[in-house]
Structure 1
Amino acid sequence: MSAAAAAKTLVFSPSILKSPNPKTPKPSRFSSLRIQSSSSSQQTLTQTLTTTTPAKTRVKILSEALPFIQSFRGKTVVVKYGGAAMKSEALQASVIADLVLLSCIGLRIVFVHGGGPEINHWLNRLGIQSSFLNGLRVTDASTMEIVSMVLVGKVNKHLVGFINKAGATAVGLCGTDGRIFTAVPSPHADQLGFVGEIASVDTSVLEPLVKDGYIPVIASVAADGTGQSYNINADTAAGELAAALGAEKLLLLTDVAGILEDKDDPGSLVKEIDVGGVRRMMDDGKIAGGMIPKVSCCVKALGKGVKTASIIDGRLDHSLLLEILTDGGAGTMIIG
């Protein structure tokens, strides 16, 4: 088997892992950071390669990944998880494997999740009607109780167990724990019920966990000063948390390829754009519908100090690795 043919069987392909020339500036997708190596990280990275790959090919691929690993070592990356990647068991396994690998090679991962499909399933089983307003779930008292039970008690613990089984150590939390998020009612509370917005973020519980190599897994439920629980949009929660942690990168897994120049043409993906370009596309109506809150979340996070924000295709196998460890990416990166 030729090296080129063998590479097609790998998670990391030499054709997409193009190391930046050390004599030229690194591309804008990567920051000039440094990463220490460790035996555990090398072992985890190696295990992602198929065992049928020739040893020399595997070593070559690992060496070509080094500049990208060095770019992000010791930096915080906030990942929002949901959509298609959560509904498919195969994609869920891919996302978790990516998270564990990135954690092992030195990235400080914070994982924020929603769980809309699972909430819908349990509301239907209990005969509670679901309704939405501008993409947000109308949440009365009964619905809020189910949302808390499903997100905090079921989805969160499932993800924690999945990550632990894959070889990392996760800690399950929700926005209420340690007052990570303090919520206030939405301005449209008369229509939305217990849908909240984030008034403040406290990262004091998270920082020692992240520093010590744990992966916090955070359900997007929070409470106000009286203890009343609120349903929080997971994209919003991830963006606010990324800003509070001074994250290097915010990643939103979605059900689309990213931002499209022509929303009806999947081939018109915008690979990289700055905030000014995003605003022009919104003014021109090229960013519309459900993409607006995601893009707005990214722009807000960038305005608060996050270095880059990417909207990536969660339907794509190993999309996190493609975005972090290759120069091709897996969606649209927005820069400030």
Structure 2
Amino acid sequence: MLTAKTLSIPLPIGRASKSSDSNASFLHFSPTSKGSCQIGGKSFMSPRIRASLQSVVEPDIQSTPAQTRVKILSEALPFIQKFRGKTIVVKYGGAAMKSEALQASVITDLVLLSCVGMRIVFVHGGGPEINQWLDKLGLKPNFLNGLRVTDASTMEIVSMVLVGKVNKHLVALINKAGATAVGLSGLDGRLLTARPSPNSAQLGFVGDVASVDPTVLRPLIDNYHIPVIASVAADPTGQAYNINADTAAGELAAALGAEKLILLTDVPGILVDRNDPRSLVKEVDIKGIKKMTEDGIIAGGMIPKVNCCIRSLAQGVHTASIIDGRLEHSLLLEILTDQGAGTMITG
């Protein structure tokens, strides 16, 4: 998000930015300001891009007055200028993956952002589809502390479903929408090297990311293709591991020096009161995250997500956002407006 002067407020009401005043509250409201214009480099109005952009916006053109469309484009300009040419890593999963309507919304958002010059990297899991195939084969899914217990048979299904089915389905959808997607997994080009999880005795072939080599990605994103990456990787011996997609996205964002990491989730973001969506924290810094964790505000499944964001920020990613994937066009709301679609975490 674009930020200008910060006004300290006691509650997490608005999208914020980190204050240089160490005595200020860790949450601040920030009005929007224009980003700097970037000129030169690749032309984004080639015939392919023009056709892609037309395919994204054309369905709604007839229902929206021309003056309204012009106003919307003009208001988005500062955000397009800010993020043009920057790398944005998006982790995709949850409700946005299960609903066809939300899936179409996410794909449309990705193609539009790519068309206006953002370098998109798309990382996905596929838990629900893995469960469906395990059920078809008479295998019962088993979880420990929210992580899938992955024996040799389950690992084989995970690889087939994520790499062979979900990944190629997403690539086909993005290509159909007018962009150019390339399907990969962590094994391709040694993109991700895995190591066993500390709890491997209980979890089986569930791994952590030992290292990232983004060499295979750079020519793709430099040419504004969209890498679509399945969260499966192998150790140096070639043994495949199931990698948490949030973790994979965070490590890739750090290795690529991404401007922004975005995690699509099934919740509005970080809530002060988990039962009240109106208590959404629009922006918080790392110090605030630690305090909220100590106070029990951040708990359960949100802890690994914020830890993933903190780790990516510590390695140079500028901002990390946890946004509501159930909200239509949440990616555009997060990137092209000052309101956002969830919680943004800053360093």
Same fold (TM over 0.5): yes
Q: In 2, Cα distance between the equivalents of 1:266 and 1:156? A: 32
Q: Distance in 2 between matches of 1:209 and 1:248?
A: 17
Equivalents in 1 of 2:152, 2:169: separation in Å?
A: 25
Distance 1:267 1:160, change over 3 A: same
Shift of residue 267, structure 1, vs aligned partner? 1.3
Residue 172 of structure 2 corresponds to: 161
Deviations 1:151-207 (A, max 9, x none): 000000000000000000000000000000000001110000000001000000000
User: What CA distance in whole angstroms lies between the structure 2 residues aligned with 1:162 and 1:235?
Assistant: 22
1:263 to 266, 270, 274: 274
CA contact (8 A) 2:250 2:309 kept: yes
Cα RMSD between the aligned structures? Answer: 1.7
Cα distance, 1:324–1:30 mapped onto 2, change above 3 Å: farther
**1:162-311, aligned counterparts within 5 Å?**
162-311=173-322
- For 1:43 and 1:118, how far apart are their aligned partners in 2? 32
Does 2:51 align with 1:47? Answer: no
Percent of aligned pairs with the same residue? 74
| 1:113 corresponds to | 124
Confirm whether residue 328 of structure 1 aligns to residue 339 of structure 2: yes
Give matches, 1:130-145, under 5 Å. Answer: 130-145=141-156
Size of the alignment, in residue pairs? 311
Mapped to 2, the partners of 1:320 and 1:293 lie a distance apart of 21
Contact 2:55–2:177 (CA<8 Å) still a contact in 1? no
The DSSP-based 3-state class of the residue aligned with 1:204 is helix
Distance of 1:216 and 1:33 partners within structure 2: 26
Instruction: Return the offset for 1:38.
Output: 3.5
Q: Deviations over 1:195-231 (max 9, x none)?
A: 0001000000000100011000000000000100000
2:102 alignment partner in structure 1: 91
**What runs of 5+ residues in structure 1 fail to find an aligned partner?**
1-25
Judged with a 3 Å threshold, the aligned counterparts in structure 2 of structure 1 residues 275 and 317 are, in CA distance, closer, same or farther, namely same
Structure-2 residue corresponding to 1:5: none
Tell me the distance in 2 between the aligned counterparts of 1:75 and 1:171. 19
Task: Compute the displacement of 1:313 (Å).
Answer: 0.0
Deviations 1:293-326 (A, max 9, x none): 0010000000000000000000000000000000
SS in 1 for 2:279: coil
Q: How far 1:31 sits from its partner (Å)?
A: 6.0
Of 141-150 and 261-270, the range deviating more from structure 2: 261-270
The answer to which structure, 1 or 2, has the higher relative contact order (CA under 8 A, 6+ apart) is 2
Structure 1 residue 46: deviation in Å?
4.4
SS of the residue 1:252 aligns to? strand
- 2:214 partner SS: coil
Q: Does 1:34 align with 2:38?
A: yes
Q: 8 Å contact 2:121–2:227 — kept in the other structure?
A: yes
Alignment check: 8 A CA contact 1:253 1:313 kept? yes
Distance 1:278 1:236 in 2: 18
Structure 2 alignment gaps of length 5 or more? 1-29
- Whether 2:81 is the aligned partner of 1:70: answer yes
Amino acid at match of 2:344: M
- Deviation of 1:287 after TM superposition, in Å, equals 0.5
Letter in 1 for 2:327: L
Q: Please state whether the residue corresponding to 1:297 is helix, strand or coil.
A: helix
Cα 1:183–1:335 shift into 2, 3 Å: same
Change (3 A) 1:90 1:279: same
Larger deviation, residues 248-257 vs 56-65: 56-65
CA deviation after TM superposition for structure 1 residue 63, in Å: 1.6
Q: In 2, are the aligned partners of 1:33 and 1:72 still within 8 Å (CA)?
A: no
Structure 1 residues 253-312: Cα deviation after superposition (integer angstroms, max 9, x where no partner): 000000001112121000000000000000111101110100100000000000000000
Q: TM-score, normalised on structure 2?
A: 0.86
Does structure 2 conserve the Cα–Cα contact (< 8 Å) formed by 1:46 and 1:58?
A: no
- TM-score, normalised to structure 1, is 0.89
CA separation in 1, counterparts of 2:97 and 2:255?
Answer: 25
Q: Distance in 1 between matches of 2:151 and 2:55?
A: 45
CA shift, 1:35, in A, is: 6.5
Distance 1:120 1:29 in 2: 45
One-letter code aligned to 1:268: S
- 8 Å CA contact 1:44–1:104 kept in 2: the answer is no
TM-aligned CA deviation for residue 30 of structure 1: 8.1
